[in-house]
Structure 1
Amino acid sequence: MSTHHLFIGPYTRDGSKGIYALQLDAATGRLSDAVLAAETRNPSYLTLAVDRRTLYAVSESDAMAAAFAVGDDRVHLTALAATQAAGGKAPCHLAVDRTGRALLVANYHTGVVASLPINPDGSLRPPASIIHHTGSSVHLERQATAHAHCVTLSPDNRFVFVCDLGLDKIFIYRLDPGSAQLSPAEPPFLPTPAGSGPRHLTFAPDGRHAFLVTELGGTLIAYRYDAAHGTLTATDQKSTLAPDYRGENTSAAVRVHPLGRFVYASNRGPDNIAVFAFDEASERLALVELVPSGGQGPRDFALSPDGQWLVAAHQFSDVITVFRVDRSTGRLTPTPHRARVSTPVCVLFLD
């Protein structure tokens, strides 16, 4: 493939108008200028249907979820029907199940996870399930109440894992794709370390391991997945920060390399990306390097499908940066290639 197509989700309060499209040269890493793909308010998180013909976005300030058809040019997006209520306030993350019949949404401010049925044309119906998390944890400012921050489907499409930053828990639900209904699994949640603030969870390509980044704790936790019971067992935990770092930090995104041997996490304090090697046999993590991300506030990043490029979005410096990935070591090499988008907070590769 000579060109990768990707979409950027920004906040729209500081000049951006909606979802933007970029093209990345697969040989050089050069980025095109950003093009407005669809006008919408605060599309702070994006995801694609399995067939990659439909893109879903939250509208964080409006408490809505929206569906868009991806154009034949792989740049422009067309809204599918009206937006739907996301089931809570400040939706911040979403995922589509592997049958394409259910959209899962995490609502940060109200600690709500919702599931929305998807019509055959990709448009959304009102929520089938709305589940409220309740409680608090030890961080007085950030954990006074529930804050659902991420929804992740198991590789077998049977379970939904919801990271709740406010409660230090990963909730586990069973999913019925046909009805888009959620029901608590047994056990109903997995605790994380007190004050850690679980933010994002992602599975490895092997389907047997998952990785969690904690926003408040600045840690990366490796898990073994038991598909029979829908449970996660921690196998290792490492700090995403340098041993001598003493400043403030909130960790943000976590991604697994397509080869499954490397895991990446971003830090919004030192503004860097932590690179880890993961050994499947021992199920242990090893820090490879910490690389400056090239901007301020690396809230999100994504790896190209071929694993050769990493693209990072910086919320506080309005810049998209590109790194070449060494597929044998996982190490990142910065490139001079950049693109400007106001307040970018999500990166999504189409191809």
Structure 2
Amino acid sequence: MRLAVLLYLLSAGTMCSAETLVYFGTYTRGNTSSEGIYVATLDEATGALSQPRLAAKADNPSFVAIAPDGKTLYAVSETPWTDESSIGIVAYSIGDDGTLKQLNQRSTRGGAACHVAVHPSGKCLGVANYSGGSCASFPINDDGSLGEIASFHQHVGSSVNPRRQQEAHAHSINFSADGTQAFVADLGMDQIVIYDVVAETGTMTPSKQRSLKMPAGGGPRHFCFAPAGNIALANLELSSEVALLRYEDAARRLSILKVVSTLPGGQAVPGNSTAECLVHPNGQAAYVSNRGHNSIAVFRIDASNGDIEWIENESIRGEVPRGFGIDPSGKFVVVANQNSDNVVSLKIDGESGALSPTGSEITVGTPVNVRFLKR
């Protein structure tokens, strides 16, 4: 009997000690109070965010990614330098208290490294260089540190927008669920560039379908898969739209199903641009952030017939929502408002996917990216 009680207490203690950490990538250059990467906790019952702490000092760590085992975090260093000695990606071990300890750093061989994704196996990662118009991949060592660069691909091309699309601008990189392919959204070329991946070596090579052409002048920025893996999204930064895509994994083929506006009634909002797109874990709702309209657009997805339908736009209680994340429970969206130095949480309606404010708000200097770690 005493043993049973002891085991119960130990189990209860373990459950009570579980927490959901939220990491924020930021800009540290320019007029900002940020010093690097910050961490807070999320109450998954209420959506309340704790006061943030500095997890690690870093230079313009605008985007971060966490390894599948939750032991390491990788952050880009979004600087203009492109020489071999410049730093574009940094590896950190995650401490018991959520703080970060640097393991090592590497050059990405391209200016303004702006996005990083870890392979599903945890054996390698990919980086997109915005101003360099290129992408790179690295093997990950057993201790979480980064090996020597395994692949580098320079994109070449342009599109119709004379101000933003005179040259290639790789803006994000994402892996398929099985890790056999990587997808690089290139805003300057109006294409999703596709690579085949070998996880063991971290190498990427051009796929048989080299790329998917997106609507001219749209400017694909970010890309994400729905949980089932046969549907994906790409938000178009320049045209305030989102594209619903079909992915045939056996044929390794990507195609466009439908493109819709991220603004109410499809009415243009001067100066608006989209930033992030995510699909809810249930695969039935999707979200896109609008900078200018300062809202999150909510959509309903029907994967069976390849349809996407606008539901609403919810205010983000701030200015310029750059990145956001859906918490592991699927109950809340946490939004980083770059120009108002605040982060807010929104509650997700379990049936419709619609959003509503929780009332929780914290201050983070120039927040850009949101990533969760439940442990």
The answer to which structure has the higher helix fraction is: 2
Q: Give how far 1:87 is off.
A: 2.4
2:352 corresponding residue in structure 1: 329
8 Å contact 2:44–2:329 — kept in the other structure? no
1:64 corresponding residue in structure 2: 88
8 Å contact 2:171–2:184 — kept in the other structure? yes
Name the SS of the counterpart of 2:319 in structure 1: coil
2:64 corresponding residue in structure 1: 46
C-alpha distance in structure 2 between counterparts of 1:122 and 1:298, whole Å: 31
1:30 corresponding residue in structure 2: 48
Deviations 1:281-309 (A, max 9, x none): 11101111111111100000001111101
Task: For structure 1, list consecutive stretches of 5 or more residues without a partner in the other structure.
Answer: none
Distance 1:201 1:44, change over 3 A: same
8 Å contact 1:87–1:127 — kept in the other structure? no
C-alpha distance in structure 1 between counterparts of 2:264 and 2:127, whole Å: 33
2:8 corresponding residue in structure 1: none
Q: Does 1:15 align with 2:48?
A: no
C-alpha distance in structure 1 between counterparts of 2:160 and 2:260, whole Å: 21
Larger radius of gyration: 2
Runs (4+) off by over 3 Å: none
Q: Does 1:179 align with 2:179?
A: no
**What is the TM-score of this pair, normalised by structure 2?**
0.91
C-alpha distance in structure 1 between counterparts of 2:259 and 2:190, whole Å: 15
Identical-pair percentage = 42
Count matched residues: 349
2:156 corresponding residue in structure 1: 134
Matches within 5 A, 1:1-351: 3-13=19-29, 14-61=32-79, 63-73=87-97, 75-80=98-103, 82-243=104-265, 244-351=267-374
RMSD of the alignment, in Å?
1.2
C-alpha distance in structure 2 between counterparts of 1:302 and 1:145, whole Å: 30
Instruction: Read off the aligned partner of 1:41 and give its amino acid letter.
Output: D
C-alpha distance in structure 2 between counterparts of 1:83 and 1:166, whole Å: 27
C-alpha distance in structure 2 between counterparts of 1:157 and 1:110, whole Å: 25
Q: Give how far 1:126 is off.
A: 2.3
C-alpha distance in structure 1 between counterparts of 2:38 and 2:290, whole Å: 24
Deviations 1:77-102 (A, max 9, x none): 1111x311122110000111122221
8 Å contact 1:85–1:126 — kept in the other structure? no
Instruction: Read off the aligned partner of 2:46 and give its amino acid letter.
Output: T
Q: Give how far 1:223 is off.
A: 1.1
Instruction: Read off the aligned partner of 2:357 and give its amino acid letter.
Output: P
Q: Give how far 1:273 is off.
A: 0.5
Instruction: Read off the aligned partner of 1:175 and give its amino acid letter.
Output: V
Task: For structure 2, list consecutive stretches of 5 or more residues without a partner in the other structure.
Answer: 1-14, 80-85
**What is the TM-score of this pair, normalised by structure 1?**
0.97
8 Å contact 2:264–2:312 — kept in the other structure? no
